[in-house]
Chains A and B, each alone.
Chain A
């Protein structure tokens, strides 16, 4: 139980284009979803927190107009990287939590999406 999927797992795009990454909780309803960015050999950096039907809360330094997050349902959140540039190349990970699953604060992670911007 508590499975989170991400799609796509790997995407290559041209500079200036937009890319959408989907995060789905497959067997539970996610009260909250989180988006992280991870550079090689580094820790996870929280980008934003989103609750279903509400605007996402972005961490300091994260451009909300560049990283658009939509949490339209209790099982789906999307991250759109707009006008992507090579410096946006990274590994993006989503996670989900639920008041009905796991302990407080426990997050269930997706497998990640590798974004390469040429």
Chain B
């Protein structure tokens, strides 16, 4: 069974700073997908970024980028030029490329951006 671990329950940075959220996972699969979801106070889950395991290039979406280390089973999220609207819970998620298409979520990291 796959597991996802986020070891930082809470983080806090100043606006405009860069912050990195950690995520590690455990799997015996070779083909899979990794996701970072954001859950703001509204509690609506929003996809931030996704990474296909077969791609060596790290995914980037504007201010958001990942550091995907497949051998180390690590998938960190970097937020550059952080904004107040980035304040939210962030969940790392793993999805196998076959089977029931379920996602396994980490425990979450509560990120606060301070003005």
Q: Is the CB of A46 within 8 A of B33?
A: no
Q: Is A28 part of the contact surface with B, judged by Cβ < 8 Å? A: no
Interface class of chain A by DSSP: strand
A97-B105 in contact (CB<8A): no
Stretch at the interface among B19-27, B62-70, B78-86, B95-103: B95-103
Q: In the complex the two chains form, is A111's CB within 8 Å of B42's CB? A: yes
Contact, CB under 8 Å: A103 / B50: yes
- Closest chain A residue to B94 by CB distance? A105
- Main SS class of interface, B: strand
Instruction: Evaluate contact between A97 and B101: CB separation under 8 angstroms.
Output: yes
B94 → chain A closest CB, angstroms: 9
Count how many chain B residues have C-beta atoms less than 8 Å from C-beta atoms of the other chain: 25
Taking CB atoms, residues of chain B closer than 8 Å to A106 are 33, 35, 47, 50, 95
Tell me the complex Cα distance, A109–B33, Å.
17
**B91 CB-CB contact with A under 8 Å:** yes
Q: A97-B101, A103-B52 are in contact. Are A111 and B96 (CB under 8 A)?
A: no
Q: What is the distance, in angstroms, from A19's C-beta to the closest C-beta of chain B?
A: 18
A1 to chain B minimum Cβ distance, whole angstroms, is 13
Which residues of A sit under 8 angstroms from B47, Cβ to Cβ? 106
CA distance A89 to B86 in the complex (A): 28
Contact of A43 (CB < 8 Å), options: B46, B91, B97? B91
Chain B residue, CB-CB nearest to A9: B43
5 shortest interchain CB distances as A-B pairs? A105-B95, A109-B45, A105-B33, A43-B105, A111-B44
